[in-house]
Each structure stands twice: as C-alpha cells, then as structure tokens.
Amino acid sequence: MPKPEVAFISGPIDTGPGAEYFKTHYVAPINAAITRDHRFVIGPIPSGVDADALDYLLAYPVDPSRITIFVTETEDQIAGDGFRARGVNVQVVGDRTTLPRERDAAMTAASTYDILRIRTEEEAQELYGRAYRPGHMTNTEFNWKRRKGSPTRKAPDGWAETSPSRATRKNGWLGKLSAKLPR
C-alpha cells in the first residue's frame, strides 16, 4: 500500500477580516486534499493560516489522526496541551533552542507537498503600508523555496541559511527524526 500524501499548509499570520484570505486561497486546495484522503502538517501559530487551517479541517470534519501540529519544545509548553485536547497529533521538534525555521524544515521533511500562497508585492505593499520591506522573504516563501531546493535568504546581520539546511540533510538530526514520523 503506498504511503499517503502529506500536505504542509503554510501561509501568513494575518488572513484579514473573516479569514477572507484563507477562504479565497486555501479552501479549494485543502478540499481537494481532503477528498484524496491526504494527511496534513500545520504549524502552531494561533492566528492566520495555521489557526484557520486547523479550525477548517476539524470542522470539515477531518479525522484528527490525519492532522499533525509541529511545535518546538517551547511552543509545546505553551500550546501543546490545547492541541492534544483537540485530538490532533503533536510532533515536538528539537529542544528549547530550536528555532521556528527548524520546525518549518521538519514540516517540509515530513510532508510531500505544500498548500501555500505567497502574497504579491502589490498585496504586501497594500497590507503593510510604510512597514513594507521590498524583497523581504516571508516564512511561507522560504518554506516554498526549501521544498524546491532553492537556496538562501540573508538575514540583516549577514547570516545566510541555505536550503536544504543542515537540519534537512538526510544525515542530520532532522533526517533521523523525519524517518520516525508517521506518514
């Protein structure tokens, strides 16, 4: 029996009034994945696409055993019990020093494809106004680039992360962890 497909749902933390961004850009591909009996991995962010996706999947209803929320150890201490109370799987990645980008790398490794949308430059300018930063790479875009094997995003301090990062290499800790994850 072939392993089931696993969708990594990723997107912005602001989906607007009534979650319109989520409804417009995510519901159709999520419905298609549900119909094909796929599984889902989602981050723990309590707003935006992560929260909207979890609420949507559970209301559909999708069996909670098909949903895994990935958290760092710190995120697990803050919100893990709430996720477990909803019946979903919780996968703790790393330890207290694990960064959200490493958690996201674990979700990429544990999934077979992405359900995501990256805002256009115009949409980002309109949403963020004066706070808009041209060329800023969102975590959603970085997740997509990681999947595609595209390298680098440079942080303001000059530090660069390439993809696949040390965490996603097969011989790294994440490769060992992802081999143990249910698919």
178 backbone dihedrals φ, ψ, rounded to 5°? -65, -25
The mean pLDDT value of the chain amounts to 85
Considering its fold, how many domains does the chain have in total? 1
Q: In terms of Cα–Cα distance, which of 141, 136, 153 is closest to 117?
A: 141
**33 assigned to some structural domain:** yes
Give the residue-averaged pLDDT of 156-180.
Answer: 38
**What confidence score (pLDDT) does residue 176 get?**
42
Half-sphere exposure at residue 148, Cβ-oriented, CA atoms within 13 angstroms: 9
Q: Answer yes or no: is 1 within a domain.
A: no
Q: Which candidate, 31, 36, 47, 168, places its Cα nearest to that of 102? A: 168
pLDDT in tens, 125-156: 998 899 999 888 889 998 999 998 875 544 33
Residues above pLDDT 70, as percent of the chain: 82
**What is the CB neighbour count within 10 angstroms for residue 182?**
12
Query: Residue 28 falls within a domain, yes or no?
Result: yes
Instruction: Determine, yes or no, domain membership for 121.
Output: yes
Choose among 174, 47, 56: nearest CA to 115.
Answer: 56
Q: Is the pLDDT of residue 180 over 50?
A: no
Give the pLDDT score at 94: 94
Per-residue pLDDT tens digits for 44-69:
999 999 999 999 999 999 999 999 99
- The model's pTM is 0.80
Residue range(s) defining the domain that contains residue 37: 6-180
Q: Residues 2, 54, 164, 29: is their CA dihedral positive or negative? A: positive
* Per-residue pLDDT band at 173 (split at 50, 70, 90): very low
> Higher confidence at residue 110 or residue 173?
110
User: How far is Cα 20 from Cα 65, in angstroms, rounded to an integer?
Assistant: 27
Question: Helix, strand or coil for residue 81?
Answer: helix
Average confidence (pLDDT) over 38-47: 98
Structure confidence at residue 156 (pLDDT)? 37
pLDDT at 179 over 80: no
4, 72, 102, 47 alpha-carbon torsion, rounded to 10°: 80
